[in-house]
Amino acid sequence: MVHSHTNNYNLSGVYYLSVPADSGEIVFRDPRPGANQAPCRLFKDDGDSEYFSPSAGLILLFPSYLEHYVLPNRSDADRISMSFDLTLER
Ligand SMILES: [Fe+2]
């Protein structure tokens, strides 16, 4: 399900521990109203989303307001990841 991590955090992230082949991509969407209407798309693909294929050991950091979701795991093994949120303080 598409979601974001609220304004209570500055950064969100995912640390991938195990990523079997064909276990699903993480997809990011530009959350700005109207940002996904051509020709003013933020992302470079031909749609409104950016797809990332993770690998074991990868840490992804992104603004907490960025909408995202994960595609289904189509392998027979578990994809293992840890997600987290960060609040930056002065
Ligand atoms: Fe999330």
Confidence of residue 80 (pLDDT cuts 50, 70, 90): very high
C-alpha distance from residue 58 to each of 8, 9, 36, 80 (Å):
24, 21, 27, 12
Distance (angstroms) between ligand 1 centre and the Cα of 66 equals 9
Distance (angstroms) between ligand 1 centre and the Cα of 65 equals 10
Residue 2 lies in a domain: no
Distance (angstroms) between ligand 1 centre and the Cα of 16 equals 13
Distance (angstroms) between ligand 1 centre and the Cα of 69 equals 7
Residue 78 lies in a domain: yes
Residue 5 lies in a domain: no
Output 75 or 40, whichever has higher pLDDT: 75
The C-alpha atoms of residue 49 and residue 33 are separated, in whole angstroms, by: 14
Distance (angstroms) between ligand 1 centre and the Cα of 5 equals 6
Under DSSP, the state recorded for 3 is B
Q: Is pLDDT of 65 > 80?
A: yes
Q: For residue 58, what are the domain limits?
A: 11-86
Residue 29 lies in a domain: yes
- Would you list the DSSP string of 33-64? TTTTSTT--SSSSSSSEEEE---TT-EEEEET
CATH number at residue 71: 2.60.120.620
State how many domains the chain has. 1
Residue 77 lies in a domain: yes
Q: What is the pLDDT of residues 2-57, one digit of tens each?
A: 899 987 889 999 999 999 999 999 999 878 776 666 655 555 555 578 899 999 99
Residue 63 lies in a domain: yes
- The reported pLDDT for the residue numbered 7 is 74
The C-alpha atoms of residue 84 and residue 40 are separated, in whole angstroms, by: 31
